[in-house]
């Protein structure tokens, strides 16, 4: 994943840099799961109670448990040419907010045209490990 993110947080202490790097690894796992079309790859990045909200390409609201995303990723299959960029990472002690932009999302459910999505993630540090606790998205209709 391209990491041209602007980091906002408590400074450039070694601890902050370590937390930032850990969050980037979580987001890389998410992106790799979407790219390969495998929820098994991305599931470890999520807290079991994670929620999921957003408007799909047809304007329908998707809202509920993160299992909806896992099912969608498996049903969509690989999106081999997907491009993902971290736009921002904001860390506040045990919580973080990440903005991710995805381009060229393709697959069985996404279609062949290469969709663009904007994702907002909330993460929480549990027992020293960062996990996604909420995902909201917007599917851009060009």
Q: For 73-130, write each residue's pLDDT tens digit.
A: 999 999 999 999 999 999 999 999 999 999 999 999 999 999 999 999 999 999 999 9
Q: How confident is the model at residue 10 (pLDDT cuts 50, 70, 90)?
A: very low
Report the share of the chain in percent with pLDDT over 90: 84
Whole-number pLDDT of residue 58? 87
CATH at 7 = 3.10.450.50
Whole-number mean pLDDT of the chain? 91
Domain count, the chain: 1
Mean per-residue pLDDT, 8-25: 76
Percent residues over pLDDT 70 in the chain: 89
User: Does residue 24 register a pLDDT over 50?
Assistant: yes
Mean pLDDT of 69-76: 97
Residue 7 backbone class (left: φ over 0; alpha: ψ -120 to 50; beta: rest) = beta
How much is the pLDDT for 52? 96
d(CA 13, CA 43): 30
**CA–CA separation, 115 and 106 (whole Å):** 7
Domain enclosing residue 46, as ranges:
2-140
Helical (H) or strand (E) element with 2: strand 2-8
């Amino acid at each position: 994943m391209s990491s041209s993110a602007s980091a906002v947080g408590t400074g450039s202490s070694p601890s902050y840099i370590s937390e930032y790097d850990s969050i980037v690894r979580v987001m890389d796992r998410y992106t790799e799961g979407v790219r390969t079309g495998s929820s098994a790859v991305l599931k470890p990045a999520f807290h079991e109670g994670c929620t999921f909200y957003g408007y799909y390409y047809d304007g329908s609201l998707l809202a509920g448990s993160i299992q909806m995303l896992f099912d969608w990723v498996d049903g969509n299959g690989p999106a081999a040419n997907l491009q993902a960029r971290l736009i921002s990472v904001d860390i506040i002690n045990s919580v973080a907010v990440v903005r991710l932009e995805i381009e060229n999302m393709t697959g069985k459910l996404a279609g062949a045209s290469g969709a663009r999505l904007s994702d907002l993630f909330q993460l929480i540090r549990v027992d020293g490990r960062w996990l996604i606790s909420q995902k909201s998205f917007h599917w851009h209709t060009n």
